[in-house]
Amino acid sequence: MIITKLTCEYQENLFGTDCLSPRFAWKLEDGISQTAYRIQVSKDQDFVDLIWDTDKVCSDSSIQNVYAGPKFQSRTKYFARVMSWDQDDKSTKWSKTSVIETAFLDENEWSAKWISTSDARDKLVEHVVPALRKDFKVNGDIVSARVYATAHGLYRLSINGKRVGDEYLTPYWTEYDSRLQYQTYEVLDLLQTGTNTIGAMLGDGWSVGEMAFDKHRAIYQDRVALLMQMHIRFEDGSEQVLCSDASWKWANSPILMSEIYHGETYDAQKELPGWDSPDFDETSWQAVVEGAKYKGKLIAQEGAPVKKIETIKPIKLLETPKGEKVIDFGQNMVGFVRFSLATAAGTKVQIKHAEVLDKEGNFYTDNLRNARQTITYTSNGNGEIVFEPTFTFQGFRFIQLIDWPGEINLENFEGVVIHSVMPQTGTFECSEPLINQLQHNILWGQKGNFVDVPTDCPQRDERLGWTGDAQVFAATACYNLDVSKFFTKWLHDVAISQFADGEIPHVVPDCIKDGSGGSTGWADAVVVIPWTVYKSYGDTRILVEMYDSMKKWIEYMRKNGDDWRNKFHFGDWVALDAKEGSYIGATDRRMIAYAFQIYSTDIMMKTAKVLGRMDDFADYLILKNRLIDEFRDEYVTPNGKLAVPTQTGHILSIFLDLMEVKYRERTAADLEKLIREKETHLDTGFLGTPYINFALTKAKKLDVAYELLLKKDYPSWLYQIENGATTIWEHWDGIKPDGTFWSVGMNSFNHYAYGSIGDWMYKTIAGINCAETSSAYKQSVIAPRPGGGLTYAKASIETMYGLLSSEWNQSADEFVLKVNIPVNTTSILCINLNEKKIFLDGNEINHKDTKYYYTAGEDWYIEVGPGTHELKLVDEKR
């Protein structure tokens, strides 16, 4: 057995942290199970100066093992390694070393001052981006150098003319009134003996710029500001500290405007050559002013950083019927365009961004509302340049070139995709190409909307952390990408933003600030997502950290009862059965509130059990049963008919087991009838769609679930693909069958909520599930349910333990399932016999063998250990 990967807090190297009790996890290969482990943490990479040694710990735990040594010191580097013992008590070699480096563990270690521009900033207008600079001398042999920085607004640093780091949109978006992240940078290679210069540019970003609705600006701060502290260590043990303070200077940069929604305006004629390098004449620059101390908490980078992930080359140059020059990148993406240009001084070009073309093939931006999404560049005539914006991002597939000089060459353009760093963990593929494109669209919708915060959409004047969207998509998100750090950071903001009475605001961070919150299915994110993260990563810490917030929401619903259920709720948002002119679906919102209250109470009950809080477990079990009784009294007739005649009402009732057992068959039949009345189409919205295929599968209507998935006409998932979609739409009829648009006011073509069908695709088509009593796939259940004429499907997920995969192929008389089970885990293979011979790894199995056991119906369960296995079902006649 060998250890292939050691991580600390989900990272191979944990840099710039203020976590005092990080958790270790490692992956194993070429073995069966772990029986013991040993972790060492040292101040030197040779592990001579040990500060923690667990010795041999008899345990099969290889994830989420908490550091329990002496308290870490600030700004100190540590080294960690682990070894394991297998079932034969044979040890592995030591793992590859993982590095942990702390940042500030005490806020009092900050001696830097907040600095800003010296002129008054009008809160109602867009501003020129300021550039700040400071010269400083370095003498001596440097052994290490670190910069710790944050800002009100966004910042980008440079030293001696070279960019510091490779992240975008720092310090990212938190609940700014309460907490603000800072980043740590290694800058040794950027420094030189003698005079050095550090520079900074500050964009308005989420904190100071325009956000939310009604063109609100400066929601958190009325001006941009920088906080920076550099620590330089020398070979002789001495240290030099450079801080942001009143000695810095500032001037306007060439970035005349930079906004999240609106794009960027850059005038190269106003460039300041060498401004962030030594020997620059700063006599005309103004002195900065020191600002007030930040009243919230400064925390080290907690979430996943946003970086450039990939680039996309354009596929086509178009001239629209209106004569517009348009470039098609072939993919609805989020990021920005990098372009090269050589032209005369004073030449101004504009690039506008859009997701779609209209019915006639013209450039379409009405759905952006107030967001301009425009890059304006003015040339200084100094030869060819390569330009990209600094403090903004766009959602787009198409760009329009306005006043572009000369011939347009596609080689001069590329799309730069940015999003939070989340390694891809999941893959899905099947025999239907349109379903494969659907998976592609789901994944790209997640990439585009997971830019530090799980936004509803990435293009119009919104881009907010809507809790409902995140809640319904969380399970799919955890399959596709490693969202452990991404959700952890955002959930902490959910807890901080929670109102005193227990309600959760509709968006987090709460930049709307109107006191609105508590909508069913939206506020439940505070319960559903921590549980989803726990199930995916075995992370009990997030349950502990979120427990009080989860409980406050449950208790708010319990205390307020009908007063809460009768208040405003978004309900089955944008369902097709909504009344004309309404966004709210026809399903009774009070009924939905009951359903989600039961759903969250059930999760709360299970959370309490996991954490050993058995009094709470018993209390929530009683509460859940009482709520179900109330639900049945109000919404189920004496003869067992659900009194909510909508698809979503029946879906939630089946999915959450709200009906008595004796009435469930009728409820299932009524759901199918409602679907058939729509010619086997759905008419569900945000709170029905995620569960429709799960409900149908549970109700033994798998054929109907596959029919819905494979529909190609409106409304359906594949209708979008048939109309050229490369991400998920906000509305089933975002583009109507006649080519017109659903709405100007709310019609995003990159809105991931309906991508929640991906959860069903992984769990049901491919069959990859985490066992009910397990987490992190320590025990998995592989239970594929073929249908819809598919001849094969395969999927995988890189779990905390390693690669878990399922692949099946079927013909008229044979079904073959191949699986890979990670070391230190087990799996239960669940199949349907249906008069088949069964072979496991080439050996025919006797149906009476007691190692294997039946359950209700014809489902047959076989437990297997790590490694690759093949299960073959052959017609009895062969």
Q: Helices H, strands E: what count in the chain?
A: 14, 50
Start-to-end CA distance of the chain, whole Å, equals 40
Question: Please, what sign has the CA dihedral across residues 85, 86, 90, 95?
Answer: negative
DSSP 445: H
Pull the structure tokens for residue 5.
């990967």
β-pairing, 867-875 with 836-840?
A: antiparallel
With contact defined as beta carbons under 8 Å apart, do 755 and 446 qualify? yes
Whole-number Å distance between alpha carbons of 352 and 400: 5
- Helix, strand, coil percent content, the chain, rounded in steps of 5: 25, 35, 45
Give the C-alpha distances (Å, rounded to integers) separating 715 from 330, 582, 722, 731, 735.
23, 18, 11, 9, 11
**Catalytic residue chosen out of the listed positions 101, 175, 264, 462:** 462
Question: Please, what sign has the CA dihedral across residues 559, 561, 562, 564?
Answer: positive
CB-neighbour burial class of residue 316 (10 A; exposed 0-12, middle 13-18, buried 19+): exposed
Known active-site residue 722: no
Whole-number Å distance between alpha carbons of 187 and 230: 9
CB atoms within 10 A of CB 108: 6
Whole-number Å distance between alpha carbons of 541 and 88: 32
Question: Closest Cα to residue 715, out of 668, 672, 754, 758?
Answer: 754
H or E element that contains 23: strand 23-29
Pull the structure tokens for residue 265.
């305006």
Q: Side chain identity at 741, as an amino acid letter?
A: F
Strand, helix or coil for residue 472: helix
Question: Closest Cα to residue 825, out of 797, 865, 860, 862?
Answer: 865
Pull the structure tokens for residue 543.
């349950």
H or E element that contains 552: helix 540-565
Known active-site residue 407: no
H or E element that contains 328: strand 325-341
Q: What is the DSSP string of 569-610?
A: ---SBT-TTSPTT-SB-SS-HHHHHHHHHHHHHHHHHHHHHH
Active site residue ranges: 462, 730
